[in-house]
Every structure is written in structure tokens, then in C-alpha cells.
Structure 1
Amino acid sequence: MKLLILTQKVDKNDDVLGFFHSWIREFSTQCKNVSVICLERGEYDLPHNVEIFSLGKEENLTYNPAKSEARQRRLQPTRLVSRAERATYNLLRKITYIVRFIRYIVRNRNKYDTVFVHMNPEYVVLGGLLWRLWRKKIGLWYVHRQVNLKLRIAEKLAHIIFSTTKEAFRLKSKKIHFLGHGIDLARFTAFRLSIPDVESLGKFHNPIRILHIGRITPIKNLEILVDAVHILGHKWKKRVMVTCVGDPVNNTDEEYFKYLREHIAHHNLDESFSFVGSVPHHEIPRYYKEADVSVNLTPTGGMDKAVLESIASSTFALSANRAFENLFDRHARYLLYTERDSRDLAEKINALSEMNESKIVEMQKYLYERVSKDFKIENLITRIVSSMKDV
């Protein structure tokens, strides 16, 4: 198979999308050659049969409003960048991306026979008719609760669609294949002990170390964690230290972050929360290993790979997402809490912290074995490649 991949970003150090670097590497072991078109290109280290093409988000295209605004303030302190100028810049940037996208897929059309689009149905909308005309197989990976017009059009043009669970793909389609997630298990198991023992894995720290990894945005429901920490302190006198890895991305996120800090201050918990911002993807395993438990507070939807990464690191993962019920299996009553219920979350954390050490180790081993069996990146990519060959 000669594969063309479309994705948002290629950067092994990116805090959110760095994981996809491992996907590309695994695709390269199972395909003759791999071409990748990305919106933005950062640092990467990939085999010789992988070629990267960027649409140029990392460049300063045509007009940079931030630089222009600074210059204007020096020359004319009262004048700011207008909405019209920003709109013009954004339009020119998008046109540049589209032109480059069309040029890349046309110039390289003999280098690929199959297309795999990761999480961006707009690429299928833009290139789908040409790929169909050239008889290229089109596959789409999509894990999101949102169903919009772009997705509906992409569904018609794609030959096959992949997602993690039914909750993560809400559009009815006969083309959908639910494959679960895939993680780079070796990256996270490297931080585990080769022979887990009660002394290292069976005890919670004091204060309890709680970890949240992900963008700071309203759907993450971090205020529920704040309330749970407050309850843990008042009801059970538990000392807690929460580390949040991730940043707000847009204005809505920034407003939410401001509210979150005010909520933390209201409960006098400033010393219990540490916001470290974004960190390179390769540093994430260390945060899991140092935590007693990670929390995933988003509502039921697709499988959040953060839960799988946490388990691979032998760190308990608490979640409100019912998509993990089968994975947690007989331990679900300890690890699944009622969505947006801070009391239930606090009770689950307290129960884990007081659990018998041998029970903790037994649970960690059981969950790790399930993740290592069913969610290896090698197995996921094999299933994707095999399914696309059979289309």
C-alpha cells in the first residue's frame, strides 16, 4: 500500500497531537511509502519512506496581525489592527492553505493509492471528488460527538470510516468500523517497574497526587474536580495536590480558566492546584508515573486516550465516561463516577486512597493487561491497513 495521510500537525513534541507521530511511524512499517500532508509541521523523526508536506501554518503568511499591531503601536499608538485587516489576513491564509493542498495532492497523485484522513473531514470535502476520480481509496478517522455538514459530506465521499466507539461517532453510516484506540505502549511502560511491587505501586502519597491532562476548556468540567478536592479536605481531612497539564486555546477557554481560578480561590485551594501548562508529548509519561490517580471529567463520548495512557503507566484513571465501562470491567464500580457529581468523585478518590495495598496492585495489573492486549498502536494500525486494503 502507498499511503497518503492528512492530519492537523506533525510534531513529536506537541502536547496534544504529538501522539500521531507514533501513528505515522507505525504506518511506515506496514506501507511501502507514506506521504503526509499536515496543516503545521514541527519537529519529527521518521523513517526514510515517509515524506512530509506542510500547508504552512508554522510560517508567517502574507500578513501577520500580531507583528503588524506591534509596529502600528510604535508608529501610531492610538491605532489598533482592525477587524477588516484580521479578516483579510485569515482569508488569504485559508486560500493559501487550499491552494497548497490541491497542489500537493495533484503533484503526488502517483505516489499514493490510498488516503487516510485523521480527524479533519474538510480534507475529504476538498479532495474527495478528485480522489474518487483517480480511484484512490479514502478512509476517515473521526472521534467526536459533533455531527456537522462537513462530516455528512465526507461520509458520502469516503469509502470507509473509523472511530473508537459508537459514542464517538454519532452519524449513522454503513461505512463505520469501531476499532477502539491505540497507544504507544512502550512509551508509557518504560516508566513502570519491570516487576511491580506493593511498596511502589500499592501506596498513595500524602498528599494524594491527582493528575489531569488535557486542554483547559469548559467540556473538561474541571470545576467538578475543584469541588471534589474541597469535599475530600472537609469530609475526610485528606490533603490533595492536583497537577493540571494543558493550556486554554481560545477566548472561551481563557474565560473558563479565569472562572476556574476564581473557583479555586473561593474554596481556598490555591496551594492544592498547580497549572504547569503544555508540556512536550515525550514528557507526559513522567507525570502519569508520579501521580496516584488521573481524572477524566468529560461526558460520555469517545474513548479519551489519556485514560489508556494512565493505565499503561500503572496509574488509576477515574472517569465519568461510560465508554470505559467494558474496559474497567469488574473494577468499574471503583473507577467510574457519576457525571458532574463532585461528591461521587470525591468518594471514589477517597475509597482508592484507603484501599488495601494488595488490592490496588491486583487492579493495576488487571487493567494494564487489558490495555496492553486490546489497545496497542501496532494492533490498531494493522486493523486500519487491513480494512482499507479490503475496501
Structure 2
Amino acid sequence: MQILMITPRIDEEHDLLGFIVTWVNKLAEKVEKLYIICMGYGKAYLRKNMEVYDLNEKSNKLTKAKYFIKLMFSILPKVDVIFCHMYPEFTLMVAPFAKIFGKPIVTWYAHRHVNWKLLIAHSLANKMITASKEGLRIQSSKVIITGHGIDIERFKPVTNLNVKEKDRIIILSVGRISPIKDYETLIKAADLLVNEEGMRNLEFIIVGGVPMKSHAKYYEKLREMVSELELENYVKFMGFVSFKNITDYYYQSDIFVNLCPTGSADKAVLEAMACGKPVIVCNETYRSLLRPYDNICMFKYKDFKDLAAKLKGLITKKYLWTEMGEHDREQVIKYHSLTHFLDLLVKIFREVSA
């Protein structure tokens, strides 16, 4: 089986999209040939049965369009399935050529928003796949839930002895600096625990860059909050961390917190769970995964007092950390592992190309 995959970027050092390199290498193990068209090509070790074409090599929209059309006529006659990853626009771009050559389209989407581009992509694709039911809010027989594809060999409980002993409990949050991440609720909870409750043995680590210029003001607002609340010694922004180095932060942490509202499953939460860390979330998508610990580790969205209470409660229940971590990892392996995802994906490819 030969596949064309259209994806945003191939770059193992990218903080948000570095996981794609692992995905494509593992997928290439299961197919005869994997062609990839991307919008950026950085550092990556790739298998020999893969060919990568970077549209960003071209200088402007016109030359990119000409290059894309050329690729369509050279690649599509050879492939069995087109796999459009993440952006509905990719499905819209490739659909006319898929029609010409009679090739099925499988589209991946995992986001809480439904817009006109997604609706059109849904009408054009043969199958739509997503990480969870909340990640593709279209009621359709085309939609298949595959899990998030977490590499459980990379994200696993630490077993080496290089993790240093520490005198603080580290509370970690990973994700780009953006209002949807609601970091102000975490900072307010830190203020309540540190300044009002006197819990001086806590450290809050926020890992994530500011990928959009429009969010720079939000980042400055967060830093001002930390300064005004005199939390500089307790809340730390680590900035951009490459995908290949992010596991170091999971290993050093004790508790992982995610503050996003209910929507698609945030990959960072599943990575922390795969590392055997207890997590605290407000996204209802995770409730079934976290049972029977959901009442301990779920708080009300934007409710910093409830978050502080859940953190304090979990900190006082250290005896549960290992048990919860083992449970979390088992859930990721069962429903969201890369092996689980790719087995389903290849099965879907075979069905739509039959």
C-alpha cells in the first residue's frame, strides 16, 4: 500500500509538531511507500521508503500552487489513499485531484471548533478520524475515533537515576502561551496556595513558547500577574522546549495540570499520563479515562479556588501518586497509544481503498 500524507511540518525539534516525525516513521513501517507533502521541513531522521516535498521551498503563493499541482499529477497515480493531517484546508486543496484520479481521502481533525472549512472537508473525505468524540463535533457515520497516537516508548515512567532529589513539589503545565490555555487560573491557584496557605514547598513550571505574535500581550499579562503576586520564586516560564527534550520536564514533575476547557483531548495531558504522572484537569473529555480518580483530579473550569483545593488534596495524598500514575499509563496504552492509533489507521486505509 502506498500513501500520500499532507501534514503541517516535518521537524523533530518543533515543540508542537515534533511528534509528527515519530508518526510518519512508524506509519512507514506499515506501508510500502509514504509520500509526504508538508509546509515546512526541518531536522528529521526518516525511513528510506519515504519521500518528503516541502511547499515552503517555493517563494510565493503562485509558485507553491504550481509545485503542488505538479506533485498531484506525479504522486497521485501511484498512491492508494490520501491522508490529510490536522488542517481541513489540506482536504480542500487535494480534493479536486483526488476526484480526477479516483483516490479516497482520510482526514484527521482534533479540535473543539467546527467551521465551514471543516464541514466542506467532511463532505469531501471518505473518512474523518479524530482523537475523541469531543475533537470532531460532527455527527456522522464517516467519523471514527482512533485515539491520539502517543508514543508510549518515548513517554514512559522514568527508570534512570539521573532525576535529582528535590525539596519542592513540582507542578507542571505544558502548552503554548495562549488564552485558551488559561494559565491565569493556575497563577491564581499558586497565589492561594503559596501566599495564603503558606505552602512554600511548591514550584509551578509552565513550558511553552508564544507561537503567535497576537498572544505576546497575553504572555506579558501573565508575567505581570506573577510579579504583582510576588510569585517569581514559585512560578517559572520555561519558554520553547523542543519535542525531543520535553520528556525531561515530565520526569522532573510530580503533578501535571491542564487548564483547557472541554474539547478535544490535549496531547500534553496524555503524554504526562503515559509518563505515569497524576494529572489535574477540567476538560470533561478525560473523565472516563481518569475514573475512579476523577473526583480527586478534576476541577471546575476557570475556578482557581477549586483548582487549589484539588492540588492541595492531591499533595496530601502522596500515597496515591504511584497508583494513579500506573492507572493513567494503562489508560493511555489502551486507548491512545501510537500502536493502537496506527493499527486503526492502516485498517481504515485498507477499507477505503478496497
Q: Could you tell me how far apart the structure 2 residues matched to 1:106 and 1:16 are?
A: 31
Deviation at 1:207, TM superposition (A): 2.5
Tell me how far apart the structure 1 counterparts of residues 345 and 268 of structure 2 sit (CA, whole Å): 21
Q: After TM superposition, give the deviation of residue 97 of structure 1 in Å.
A: 2.6
Instruction: Quote the Cα distance in structure 2 between the aligned partners of 1:142 and 1:378.
Output: 19
Q: Which residue of 1 aligns with 2:349?
A: 388
- Determine the structure 2 residue equivalent to 1:81: none
Deviations 1:118-144, CA, capped at 9 Å, x for gaps: 011112111102102211110000011
CA distance in 2, matches of 1:103, 1:241: 53
Tell me the amino acid that sits aligned with residue 307 of structure 1.
V
- Contact kept in structure 2, 1:289 and 1:314, CA below 8 Å: no
Equivalent AA in structure 1 for residue 117 of structure 2: K
Does residue 1:281 correspond to 2:243, yes or no?
yes
CA offsets per residue over residues 241-275 of structure 1, 9 Å max, x none? 12221111223210100111111112111221222
Query: What code does the residue aligned with 1:295 have?
Result: V
Query: What aligned pairs does 1:204-219 form with structure 2 within 5 A after superposition?
Result: 206-219=167-180
Q: CA deviation at 1:356?
A: 4.3
Q: Deviations over 1:27-77 (max 9, x none)?
A: 101111100000000011111101111001xx583xxxxxxxxxxxxxxxx
Counterpart residue number, 1:35: 35
Structure 1 CA distance for aligned equivalents of residues 321 and 87 of structure 2: 40
In 2 relative to 1, CA 148–356 (structure 1 residues): closer, same or farther, beyond 3 Å?
Answer: closer
SS at match of 2:34: strand
Q: What is the CA–CA distance in structure 1 between the aligned matches of 2:248 and 2:274, rounded to whole Å?
A: 12
Cα distance in 2 between the residues matched to 1:302 and 1:269:
31
Deviations 1:210-258 (A, max 9, x none): 1111110000000000000001113431122122211112232101001
Runs ≥4 residues deviating over 3 A: none
Is the contact made by 2:106 and 2:129 (CA closer than 8 Å) also made in structure 1?
Answer: yes
Distance 2:299 2:308 in 1: 9
Q: What is the distance in 1 between the residues matched to 2:338 and 2:185?
A: 32
8 Å Cα contact 1:205/1:292 also seen in 2? no
Query: What's the % identity of the aligned pairs?
Result: 32
Which residue of the partner structure matches residue 156 of structure 1? 123
Q: What letter is aligned with 1:381?
A: L
Distance 1:138 1:254 in 2: 37
1:111 and 1:163 map into 2 onto residues whose CA distance is 26
CA distance in 1, matches of 2:185, 2:268: 18
Larger Rg: 1 or 2? Answer: 1
* Rounded Cα–Cα distance in structure 1 between residues aligned with 2:203 and 2:312: 14
State the match for 1:83 in structure 2. Answer: none
Q: Structure 2, unaligned stretches of length 5 or more?
A: none
Please state whether the residue corresponding to 1:298 is helix, strand or coil.
coil
Equivalent residue letter for 1:268:
E
Q: What are the within-5 Å matches in structure 2 for residues 87-236 of structure 1?
A: 93-189=60-156, 192-193=158-159, 206-236=167-197
Alignment-derived partner of residue 338 in structure 2: 377
CA–CA separation in structure 2 for the residues paired with 1:29 and 1:229: 45
- Correspondent of 1:344 among 303, 306, 310: 306
Residue matched to 1:24? 24
Structure 1 spans left out of the alignment, 5+ residues = 62-92
TM-score by length of structure 2 reads 0.94
Decide whether aligned partners of structure 1 residues 356 and 151 sit closer, same or farther in structure 2, where only a CA change above 3 A counts.
closer
- Match of 2:177, as an amino acid? I
Contact 1:217 1:252 in 2 (8 A): no
Q: Which amino acid aligns with 1:222?
A: Y
3-state DSSP of counterpart to 1:227: helix
* 2:213 is the counterpart of 1:251: yes
Label 1:205 to 1:314 Cα distance change in 2 as closer, same or farther (>3 A): farther
Report if aligned partners of 2:108, 2:130 keep a CA contact under 8 Å in 1.
Answer: yes
| 1:327 aligned residue | 289
SS at match of 1:247: coil
Distance change >3 Å, CA 33–CA 60, structure 1 → 2: closer
Aligned length: 350
**More displaced, 239-248 or 343-352?**
239-248
Specify the SS of the correspondent of 1:30: coil
Change (3 A) 1:306 1:11: same
RMSD over aligned Cα atoms: 1.9
